[in-house]
């Protein structure tokens, strides 16, 4: 929508053209793209596995043993032993990390529909783009020739 406003085009036309551009880009770089996604998925899997291991470790029952020796006049000594167990519920930071991995995997696999934020509008004075550049981009999206390009 913001691109459409900036280029003075209908948002649906911009969306359709961006989908076409993405499809062409994917087709041209199919192997590289798939390899990159595969590598990133592998990295995410390793990170997620570490988070799961940490989550499991954070739930282990902790047991402490304390000994207090009491010396007697005889050479034998008695020990007073106290054991304390602590049940732990797990560190939620590990679950947060797991959730981030799941979300990133979903993004890589394009599982989530994109939602545009209609509350923002693009400024007509975008730094780095001259009016000629804007006209050229607009013409390329519409598929028409211009004097500027």
Please state the pTM of the whole predicted model.
0.46
Asked whether residue 103 carries a pLDDT value surpassing 80, the answer given is yes
Short-list 135, 145, 149, 143, CA closest to 8? 135
For residue 44, pLDDT over 70 is answered with yes
Determine the length of the chain.
149
- Of 146, 144, 128, residue with least CA distance to 6: 128
Mean pLDDT of 110-114: 80
Helix (H, G, I), strand (E, B) or coil at 39: helix
Q: CA 77: distance to chain centroid? A: 60
Would the pLDDT of 95 be above 80?
Answer: yes
């Amino acid at each position: 929508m913001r691109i459409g406003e900036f280029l003075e085009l209908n948002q649906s036309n911009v969306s359709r053209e961006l989908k076409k551009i993405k499809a062409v880009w994917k087709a041209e770089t199919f192997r590289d793209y798939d390899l990159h996604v595969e590598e990133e998925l592998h990295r995410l899997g390793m990170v997620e596995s570490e988070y799961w291991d940490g989550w499991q470790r954070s739930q282990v029952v902790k047991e402490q043993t304390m000994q207090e020796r009491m010396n007697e006049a005889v050479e034998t000594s008695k020990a007073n032993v106290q054991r304390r167990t602590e049940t732990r519920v797990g560190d939620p930071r590990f679950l947060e990390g797991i959730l981030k991995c799941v979300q990133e995997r979903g993004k890589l696999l394009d599982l989530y529909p994109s939602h545009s934020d209609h509350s923002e509008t693009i400024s007509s004075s975008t730094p780095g783009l001259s009016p000629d550049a804007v006209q050229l981009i607009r013409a390329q999206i519409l598929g028409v020739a211009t004097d500027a390009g």
